[in-house]
Amino acid sequence: MASILVPFAYLIIVFGGLFIFSHYYRKHTSTLVRRAMADVQRVLRIREDKPALQALLQKGSIGDELWNSLLAAEKELEVEIMEVINEANSFVEGWGQVIFPTANEMIANEKMRAVFEHTAETKAELEIKYEYKAKTAALPAPPSSPLPVKANGLLSPSTPRSDNMPLSDAESTGTPKSKAKSKRRK
C-alpha cells in the first residue's frame, strides 16, 4: 500500500510546487508591468509639465522650490525606472529593454478601449443633444425558398452555368484535354 502512495505523494508535491511557483511568478511579473505602466504615465506627465513650468519660472510666476521639486521628482523617476529595469532583468534576461515599450503599448490599448467603450454613451448623448436618431443598418431578409443542395452537401450555384463562363483552376468540365496531363510521374 505504501508503494502506491509514494509516487502519488511525489507527483502532488512536484505539481503543487510548480503551480504555486507559477502563480507567484505571474503575479510578480504582472505587478512589475503595472509598475512600468505607472512609470511611463509619470514620464509623460513630467514631459508635459516641464516646459510649462520652465516658462513660468522664467517669467517669475513660480518660485524656485516648485522647479526644484520637479527636478527631484524627475531624479526619483529615473531611479524608479532603473529599479524596474533591474527587476525585469532578474526575471528574464533582456526583459528590461522590452518592458517599457510593452507598458507604453498597454497604456495606448487601455486608452483606445476606453474610447471604444464610451462610444455608445457619446452617441446617445449626441442624439439627445441634436435631436437626431442615427440610422441603424438593417440586415437583409433571408431567402424564402431554400437553396438547392447537392448530394455532397455543397450549395449549387445560384445562376445556371453557361459554357463560356471561365473556370477556376480547381474546376473542370469533365475529362482532361490530353492523356499526357493526366499521367502521374513516378
Digits of tens for pLDDT over the chain (186 positions)?
668 888 889 999 999 999 999 999 899 999 999 999 999 999 999 999 999 999 998 988 888 898 999 999 999 999 999 999 999 999 889 999 999 999 999 999 999 999 999 998 998 888 888 888 766 666 666 666 555 555 565 555 555 555 555 555 555 555 555 555 555 665
146-151 — which CB contacts under 8 Å span 24+ positions?
none
Integer Cα distance of 165 and 101 in angstroms: 54
Rg, Å, the chain Cα set: 33
- pTM confidence score: 0.59
